[in-house]
A and B are shown apart, each in its own frame.
Chain A
Amino acid sequence: MKNMKSKAIIWKELLDLSRDKRTLAAMILIPFIGLPAIAFLATGLTQTQTTTVYIEVLDRNSTNIAKYISYQLIQYAKINGLRVNVSMSNQAPSSVYNLLLIIPKGFYENISSIDGVGTVYLKSLVGSLQSSEVESIIESIIGQLENNIVTNRVQKLSNISGIKINSSNFLNPINIFTGYYLPSGKPASATQVELSLSARLLEFSLFFVANPAIVFMGDSILGEKERKTLETLISTPSSKTSLIIGKMIASIIIGLITAIADSLGVIIYLSMIAQNGLKLTAGLILVTFSVSALLVVMTAAIITPIVLRSSSVRSAQAMSYLIMMIALGIYFSTLFVDIQRLPYYIEDILLVIPFTHAALAISNYVLGQYLYMAVNFLVMIGFTLLGIYVSIKTFDSERLILSK
């Protein structure tokens, strides 16, 4: 009949929290609306920038090269959504410019000879982000120009020597074919390659999943102490198991709801900032959801013994902050690091940390390592059961009541 008492506690917890509209709104709506809003600021506003980049192409010899570069520059800027104002002259500009490309006297002669080196000068105004983008475009145009010059030189030498030369092969003597493979050795499909990139972003988003359960579990127990309701509750026939399980389940339910909102917010955010969007499949969504749900349960179970040893919500939050930093460290590192490729002594340390297995479960899924994924799930379940066991075994009403 223990579960009936747990049920009563769950009912109370959910009812109590549902009345705390401000906290609920802060936990659910803010990440759901706030994160996409940040993404919009980061990407949408950048794209709507209308600053014009003023470029001067100063050709001391007034050759056609200036015209060629200017024309190419306008075309590339259009493709990249940049607004440019290109003007050509053979004298130093009098007004402020963002970029100045100087083609000095003798440039054409140098590049037209068989082994001459032409020099150009590119000067940028400090602090203009869009100028940097245009600078890259100019470098790319000059790269193309170099290619044309070398092709012409090869052709000239070919004519002089009488040796037939394929200038494209002459310039690119090595072909590189790239491909991807899975840890099993089988070739990876294009979808798997895209999914592995999405997986990194989803693993990072797990941090937002773990966070609410930590907050709710702390408030559920120590919040009662501070609101002066705990002593009466633990003096009822509700056993410590009913109490812990009831509070844990309520925190998990609320944690799941807020985690879904947070995850959706993060996914929208990542989709907006990822260059080619976020590639998702039904399988990956299902695995991510399962991992997230288990992560919420595991986090609540792990945090409970810590909460039970804390004297106040504030001290529990301080300890929880440490746990959150560990989780954040792991999930943030998944953006840049392959945990499975780390030296064994680092990997072993990370494997002892429960949060690592949530990230690994997702990456093992996209890499087709289903057995390893199952092990990750089992380890998370193990940590959950261990957390519950330790909470029940070490529950001490005296510590809870007297600690200050």
Chain B
Amino acid sequence: MNWIMDKTVEVPIDNNTQYSIIAEKLYKKIGKKEVLKGIDLKIKQGEIHVLAGHNGAGKTTLFRILAGLLKYDSGKLLVMGFDPSKNQNEIRKYLGYVPEDSSPYERLTGFENLKLFALIYSNGNESLAEKYIKKGAEISELSYEDLSRKTSEYSNGMKKRLLIARAIMHDPKLVLLDEPTNGLDVFSAYRIRKLIKTMSNSGTTFVIATHNMSEAEMLADKVSFIAYGTVLYSGSVKSAIEEFNSVNLEEAFIKAVGEKYEI
């Protein structure tokens, strides 16, 4: 089924500031396993781009590469105009990242968690840090009492909201959220999705990894289907549904992956 691969656009690497992320034939091997097998991706500034994929598709590895935590083996990559394998520190100034399996410092209160990251993002500028903390507290929608408690006493939803608030309180240009609502109840998940929508309206680019297709449908301006380390499709939700002659994104994803890998 080569036509699926044909949908992937060849992206010339340049410093075009219209794009937050430009990836071209990105390869990554971890141990003996080829995790990314030539990822091509173009994400515009200010869009909510959902990377939809099954478990083990390579989403987390891609995020870690985008955040400069892992190095890619070959291909080309620009994140906000910088190559993350060479300019991690430049990218991280403008980056907010919440890994899937992450936790706040549990012996610290919510405020103290915000303060640590505010001090790092503000380079120790206390008044700027105060501003970030205030904003973080607002974004988290946690009460003053809750923020004054140790996060070990938080529910999973509260922890996730704090982590997201901590990652975006400094107005990053790019936010990477890996499975942001995974394991949360319907109220917590709703609040987080609302938060992402609001932030996106102010020009922040969100890249969200999820295997929850209804969430992808609710959030995404653009969606990319990732399976077994390759991008099978990249475009709007509407065109994905049309393209795969489906009733919803979930069906479109299943068809895309099923036809390619004959599952």
A pairs with B = yes
Q: Which B residues touch A9, using CB under 8 A?
A: 116, 120
A210-243 CB contacts (< 8 Å) to partner B: 227-229, 231-232, 234-239
| Residue contact B121 to A236, C-beta cutoff 8 Å | yes
Given contacts A397-B69, A401-B69, contact A8 B106 (CB under 8 A): no
| Residue contact B69 to A4, C-beta cutoff 8 Å | no
Q: Which A residues touch B104, using CB under 8 A?
A: 229
Most chain A CB within a 10 A radius of its CB, from B102, B104, B116: B116
Tell me the total A-B contact number using a CB cutoff of 8 A.
Answer: 88
A15-23, A36-44, A77-85, A302-310: which lies at the B interface?
A15-23
| Residue contact B116 to A8, C-beta cutoff 8 Å | yes
A109 in contact (CB, < 8 A): no
Q: Which B residues touch A123, using CB under 8 A?
A: none
Q: Which B residues touch A398, using CB under 8 A?
A: 69-71
Q: Which A residues touch B93, using CB under 8 A?
A: 237
Given contacts A8-B116, A235-B92, A235-B97, contact A229 B124 (CB under 8 A): no
Query: What residue of chain B has the Cβ atom nearest to residue A401's Cβ?
Result: B69
B79-120 CB contacts (< 8 Å) to partner A: 89, 92-93, 95, 97-99, 101-108, 112, 116-117, 119-120
B30 in contact (CB, < 8 A): yes
Query: What residue of chain A has the Cβ atom nearest to residue B178's Cβ?
Result: A231
A278→B63 CA distance, assembly (Å):
60
Please give the distance in Å from A131's CB to the nearest CB on chain B. Answer: 57
| Residue contact A228 to B123, C-beta cutoff 8 Å | no
Q: Which A residues touch B99, using CB under 8 A?
A: 228, 231-232, 235
Other-chain contact of B102, A19, A228, A236 (Cβ < 8 Å): A228
Please give the distance in Å from A392's CB to the nearest CB on chain B. Answer: 14
B154-183 CB contacts (< 8 Å) to partner A: 163, 166-167
A370 in contact (CB, < 8 A): no
Most chain B CB within a 10 A radius of its CB, from A1, A7, A231, A239: A231
Q: Which A residues touch B124, using CB under 8 A?
A: 1, 4-5, 7-8
A181 in contact (CB, < 8 A): no
Q: Which A residues touch B119, using CB under 8 A?
A: 4-5, 7-8, 11
Q: Which B residues touch A105, using CB under 8 A?
A: none
Determine the interface band of chain A, counting residues with CB < 8 A from chain B: 20 to 34
A402 in contact (CB, < 8 A): yes
Please give the distance in Å from A174's CB to the nearest CB on chain B. Answer: 71
A37→B156 CA distance, assembly (Å):
45
A393 in contact (CB, < 8 A): no
Other-chain contact of A5, B108, B123, B163 (Cβ < 8 Å): B123
Q: Which A residues touch B107, using CB under 8 A?
A: 15-16, 19-20
| Residue contact A227 to B106, C-beta cutoff 8 Å | yes
A165-195 CB contacts (< 8 Å) to partner B: none
A398→B121 CA distance, assembly (Å):
22
A156 in contact (CB, < 8 A): no
| Residue contact B105 to A16, C-beta cutoff 8 Å | yes
| Residue contact A234 to B120, C-beta cutoff 8 Å | no
| Residue contact A4 to B163, C-beta cutoff 8 Å | no
Query: What residue of chain B has the Cβ atom nearest to residue A19's Cβ?
Result: B107
A20→B123 CA distance, assembly (Å):
27
Query: What residue of chain B has the Cβ atom nearest to residue A231's Cβ?
Result: B99
A137→B201 CA distance, assembly (Å):
95
Most chain B CB within a 10 A radius of its CB, from A228, A229, A232, A234: A232
| Residue contact B70 to A232, C-beta cutoff 8 Å | no
B64 in contact (CB, < 8 A): yes
Please give the distance in Å from A293's CB to the nearest CB on chain B. Answer: 26
A318→B224 CA distance, assembly (Å):
44
Please give the distance in Å from A332's CB to the nearest CB on chain B. Answer: 36
Given contacts A8-B116, A231-B99, A232-B98, contact A239 B89 (CB under 8 A): yes
Query: What residue of chain B has the Cβ atom nearest to residue A402's Cβ?
Result: B30
A234→B99 CA distance, assembly (Å):
11
| Residue contact A231 to B116, C-beta cutoff 8 Å | no
Q: Which B residues touch A5, using CB under 8 A?
A: 119-120, 123-124
Given contacts A4-B123, A19-B107, A236-B121, contact A12 B116 (CB under 8 A): yes
Q: Which B residues touch A228, using CB under 8 A?
A: 99, 101-103
| Residue contact B120 to A232, C-beta cutoff 8 Å | no
Please give the distance in Å from B106's CB to the nearest CB on chain A. Answer: 7
A236→B89 CA distance, assembly (Å):
8
B67 in contact (CB, < 8 A): yes
With A9-B120, A237-B92 given, name 10 new contacts (CB 8 A). A4-B124, A7-B119, A12-B112, A16-B108, A19-B108, A19-B150, A231-B102, A232-B102, A236-B120, A237-B120
The 6 closest A-B pairs by CB, nearest first: A4-B124, A8-B119, A19-B107, A228-B103, A235-B97, A237-B92
The interface of chain B, by Cβ under 8 A from chain A, is 30, 64, 67-71, 89, 92-93, 95, 97-99, 101-108, 112, 116-117, 119-121, 123-125, 150, 163, 166-167
Can you list 21 residue pairs at the A/B interface with Cβ under 8 Å?
A: A1-B123, A1-B124, A4-B119, A4-B125, A5-B120, A7-B119, A8-B119, A9-B120, A15-B108, A15-B112, A228-B103, A232-B99, A232-B102, A232-B163, A232-B167, A236-B121, A237-B89, A237-B93, A397-B68, A397-B70, A398-B69
